[in-house]
């Protein structure tokens, strides 16, 4: 299967709105972990269910959770949170597709 995209196709992929939540680096203060600053931005992405093949390649305990593929021009990081259609998902894996000016990430429900 070829994953070659043209610029016009990449624009078509960026039609759905979602909210990206990212936390800054936290630290321990007197033995208690304090989470870093929270930032939220609206992103545009193509969010699609994962394929059956992708689902079967996951560990058994993960297969019962909701998973989605996300294609976006926004740089995502593991542990980012995405709010999509009222549900929160965590970025599980990230693939950088620089040659296509976008990236692919897999989300799992929280």
**What is the 8-class DSSP label of residue 44?**
E
pLDDT of the residue at 61: 84
The pLDDT of residue 96 is 83
pLDDT at 3: 52
pLDDT at residue number 63: 85
Check residue 65 and report its DSSP letter: S
Fold assignment, 7-109? Thrombin, subunit H (2.40.10)
CA R_g for the chain: 15
E strand spans, the chain:
16-23, 27-29, 32-34, 38-49, 67-72, 81-84, 87-97, 102-109
pLDDT tens per residue, range 4-30: 555 445 554 557 899 999 999 989 999
Whole-model pTM?
0.77
75-106 residue pLDDT tens: 999 999 999 999 999 999 999 887 777 889 99
């Amino acid at each position: 299967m070829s994953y070659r995209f043209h610029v016009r196709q990449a624009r078509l992929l960026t039609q759905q709105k979602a909210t990206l939540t990212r936390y800054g680096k936290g630290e321990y203060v007197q033995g208690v972990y304090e989470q870093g600053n929270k930032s939220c931005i609206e992103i545009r992405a193509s969010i699609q269910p994962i394929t059956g093949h992708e689902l079967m390649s996951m560990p058994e305990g993960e297969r019962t959770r909701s998973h989605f593929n996300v294609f976006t021009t926004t740089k995502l990081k593991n542990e980012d949170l995405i709010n999509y259609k009222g549900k929160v998902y965590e970025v599980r894996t990230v693939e950088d597709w620089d040659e296509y000016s976008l990236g692919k990430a897999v989300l799992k429900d929280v």
